[in-house]
Amino acid sequence: MYSIPVIKVAPDGSASFLQGALHPLPPELTGPQRINTYLQSSNAGWSKTVFGYESFSTYNDRGVKYIFPAIYLCDGHKPSKKFMGYKAQFKRSQIEYYAAGIVRRETEFRVGMQKELNSFVHDLRRLSSTIYHQAVAAQKVIPNRYPQAQSLIQSVIASQRMLKLRTDVLDRSGSPIAGEENQHIFVYKKIDKVAKCFKPMAAERGINVNISGSSHSMTYGPDVLEIVFYVIIDNAVKYSPTNGDINIKIDETDDNILVHIESIGPTVEASEVEKIFQKGYRGVSATSSNINGSGLGLSLASDLIDKFEGKIKFSKIHDEPSLINVMHSKHYFTIEVPIRQSMPRRQY
Amino acid sequence: MFKPKFVSIESVEKQTSRKLRNLAVDKKRAAIQIGVIDDQNLPARDNLLNYGYKVIEVGDINRISDIQDYQIVLCDVMGVGMAFDPNGQGAELIKQIRKQYPNIYILAYTGNLMSNPQAVIAKERADSFIDKDADLEKWSEILDEYIDNVLDPVENWKRTRKNLIEIDTPTLEIIELESAYAKDISANDKSFTNLKKRIGSGGTSGVIKSIIGGLITQALLGMAGV
């Protein structure tokens, strides 16, 4: 919340207008056309805008632009048109001081949050690692004649694997491939590993995670393919009705490895199909299902698949009868990555 | 018959990779000392020992020479290297190890965010990178790959050649060293007669002699047939 109106423009050009809480702009100065005009001011500093009002722009250290639009200055130009209740209240120096304060505070907040997040992820990975290694050690010391104990340990290991993948998703959401080294990756091994992680949790809701087909080929890219499968299967489990099945099929063409993931979930309208891979987008039915979600997972999955020069596609098979007051349909995700078999020696 | 003056490393590649393939995994794991630089215990340590790796925790270090006896170093990114640069931490430590012992393979690991600046720098400087919470399959996949590298005389030469190029060694000298090394490997000459003769023939700097000394030490591990 800001005292005076601000337009924030991200480095990719996306902009958001935030009305001033104490000193709002009059409606005549806030329509989409007007906002578009304010966005034209390209340089930092002061510039003249509609009806002779002035805008002030500044940038933070990440290239985010802050535009304080159409300000009626006490010590500035006289506007050619005045609006009821919109008076000159600020001097240039006051706006500049306020803008600098906002940028500084938001930067400090972001840096502080980043440190907190780093420390949180660090602790999470350390604890997760300890849980995993202790469970593996326990598996060794408990004799096989105690199958129940072995099964419980397997569940602990599966849960830890999920925790690790969830941490990876959190980690990569900010920076999908920070310094990630490319390598050859067995796709089957990755999907099998993720499916196994989900089995115990899915089984609690009567959901079967089935895997079929075969693939012996490798693809080439950063070691993040598990995250892609995690995101899709996590959604499938989360949104699936009780006793629903999740069917994973893997096969190959001459050039590609294909992974199909079929599940039942809240209907995705035809108009939404293109949008589900957009950052922050959640389908109407998914939102009304009251299941938590951020709309970031599929966007991350799509970004990661690009690194393999692969594709991720979504299709809807048919609508199912309404379940728990939400229309459901059968969903198909198809992940396609190129086969890259050769294992060259390390190049220096 | 024409006899080439210089022998390239590629000429012994088939012979050495066959030999390496035939070595038992447990013997390879037991042959290589892996030093762990971490201010805390490595959670994976006991399981790695059970897998047959020779993992030795050395804590944080005050002198780079503390790790000179290890062929592979696992280095945490945070909380280490405090005696060198408390800001750079593990990333600075990796830089210093690389400078003084270019033959040692350095594998960085961390629990930090991937976008953390120190983690990003450490990744660039290390040979490979592992998440702290990686499973044993991942740990052993990476460790086995680098153990193979340590035991592979061809891999060792390629790495040494890169180091020689980095310090601006004249091309002819590199070719002569490669040729002498390849002949010794081909003949399974554990005394490295040709290579020692080449570096002893005058004109070879102390830095190059030290790099070649490291190469011989590692090559001997592979030639011992573990």
pLDDT tens-digit readout, A332-347: 999 999 999 754 445 5
Same domain, A148 and A238: no
A126/B161 CB distance under 8 A: no
**A55 min Cα distance to partner chain B (Å):** 35
The domain containing residue A32 runs over which residues?
A: 6-90
Sole residue written with tokens 């938590």: A292
Q: Is residue A347 part of a domain?
A: no
Query: Is there a domain that residue A226 lies in?
Result: yes
- What is the assigned CATH class of domain B32-151? alpha beta
- Are A124 and B111 in contact (CB < 8 Å)? yes
Tell me if A312 is assigned to some domain.
yes
Please give the Cα distance from A305 to A311 (Å, whole number). 6
- pLDDT number for residue A177: 59
CB atoms within 10 A of CB A271: 8
Chain center to CA of A310: 19
Q: Is B10 in the A-facing interface, judged by CB distances under 8 Å?
A: no
What letter represents residue A22's amino acid?
A: L
pLDDT digits (tens, 9 = 90+) for B106-120: 999 998 888 888 888
Q: Which amino acid is at A125?
A: R
- How far is the CA of B157 from the CAs of A40, B58, B219, in angstroms? 58, 28, 9
Query: Half-sphere exposure (CA, 13 Å, Cβ side) for A167?
Result: 27
The single-letter code of the amino acid at B204 is: T
Q: How far apart are CA B93 and CA B95, in angstroms?
A: 5
- Considering Cα of A70, then A72, then A76, then A81, what sign does the dihedral take? positive
- CATH number for the domain spanning A327: value is 3.30.565.10
Query: Could you tell me if A284 and A330 lie in one domain?
Result: yes
- Across the interface, of A114, A125, A133, the residue whose CB is closest to B131 is A125
What percentage of residues in chain B have a pLDDT greater than 90?
58
| Neighbouring-strand partners of residue A311 | A336
Give dist(CA B71, CA B217) in Å, integer: 10
Residue B140, pLDDT score:
95
- Asked if the Cβ–Cβ distance from A140 to B50 is below 8 Å, we say yes
pLDDT in the model for residue A345: 47
List the A6-9 sheet strands across, edge first.
A15-18, A6-9, A65-71, A54-59, A45-48
CB–CB of B133 and A180 under 8 A? no
Token output for A34: 């007007």
pLDDT at B217: 87
- Asked if A17 and A35 touch (Cβ cutoff 8 Å), the reply is yes
Contact between chains at A126 and B133 (C-beta distance less than 8 A): yes
Both A141 and A241 in one domain: the answer is no
Q: In whole angstroms, what is the distance from residue A332 CA to residue A311 CA?
A: 14
**Neighboring chain A residues of B158 at a CB cutoff of 8 Å:** 345-346, 348
User: Is residue A268 within 8 Å of residue A276, measured between CB atoms?
Assistant: yes
Report the distance separating Cα B106 and Cα B99, nearest Å.
Answer: 12
Please indicate, yes or no, if residue A139 is contained in any of the structural domains: yes
- Residue B19 in contact with partner chain A when CB distance is under 8 A: no
Assess if residue A177 is contained within a domain.
no
- Determine contact, residues B39/B33, Cβ cutoff 8 Å: no
Task: Sort out which chain A residues have CB atoms less than 8 A from B119's CB and list them.
Answer: 178-179
Contact between residue B112 and residue B119 where contact means Cβ atoms under 8 Å apart:
yes
Whether residue A79 is found in the same domain as residue A120: no
Q: Are residues A203 and A250 in the same domain?
A: yes
Q: Specify the number of domains making up chain A.
A: 3
| Domain membership flag for residue A176 | no
Same domain, A19 and A164: no
d(CA A106, CA A98): 12
Cβ(A274)–Cβ(A292) under 8 Å? no
Give the pairing type, strands A218-222 and A245-252: unpaired
A196 occurs within a structural domain: yes
Measure in Å the smallest separation between the Cα of B81 and chain A Cα atoms: 18
A317 with A231, same domain? yes
Q: Does B167 touch chain A (CB under 8 A)?
A: no
Helices (H), B152-223: 153-166, 171-186, 193-199, 206-223
Q: What was the pLDDT predicted at B127? A: 93
- pLDDT attached to residue A81: 92
Could you report the per-residue pLDDT of A60-111, keeping only the tens digit for each?
Answer: 998 999 999 999 999 988 899 999 889 998 999 999 999 999 999 999 999 9
The model's confidence at residue B105, banded by pLDDT at 50, 70 and 90, is: very high
Of B158, B138, B151, nearest in space to B22 by CA: B151
- Residues A154, A231 share a domain: no
What's the confidence (pLDDT) of residue A256? 94
First vs last C-alpha separation in chain A: 53
Q: What's the pLDDT at A321?
A: 62
- Mutation pick from A113, A127, A132, A172 vs chain B, by most beta carbons of B within 10 Å, is A132
Q: Do A199 and A157 share a domain, yes or no?
A: no
Same domain? For A223 and A196 the reply is yes
State the pLDDT at residue B64: 93
Residues A24 and A50 in one domain: yes
Nearest-neighbour CA in chain A from B15: distance (Å): 15
Do the Cβ atoms of B113 and A179 come within 8 Å?
no
Distance of alpha carbon B168 from the chain centroid: 20
Please identify every stretch of chain A with a pLDDT value under 70, giving residue numbers as ranges: 42, 174-180, 284-290, 293-294, 319-326, 342-348
Are A171 and B123 a contacting pair at CB < 8 A? no
| Residues in contact with B101: Cβ distance below 8 Å, sequence separation at least 6, in sequence order | B64, B67, B68, B214
Question: Best residue in B10, B17, B114, B140 to probe A by mutation, most A CBs within 10 Å?
Answer: B114
pLDDT tens per residue across span B118-175: 888 998 999 999 989 999 999 999 999 999 999 999 999 999 999 899 889 999 999 9
Q: What values do phi and psi take at A179, rounded to 5?
A: 60, 20
For residue A236, the Cα-to-chain-centroid distance in whole angstroms is 16
Nearest CA in chain A to B123: A179
Distance between alpha carbon B58 and the CA centroid of its chain, in Å? Answer: 18
Q: What angle do CA B105, B109, B115 make, to 5 degrees?
A: 120
| Selection from A252, A174, A259, A165 nearest residue A211 by Cα | A259
Q: Which residues of B touch A185 (CB under 8 A)?
A: none
Please tell me whether residues A199 and A328 are part of one structural domain.
yes
Contact at CB, A161 and B158, closer than 8 angstroms = no
Does residue A103 lie within any of the structural domains? no
Q: What are phi and psi of A347, to 5 degrees?
A: -100, 130
Q: How many residues does chain A have?
A: 348
Question: What pLDDT score does A344 carry?
Answer: 47
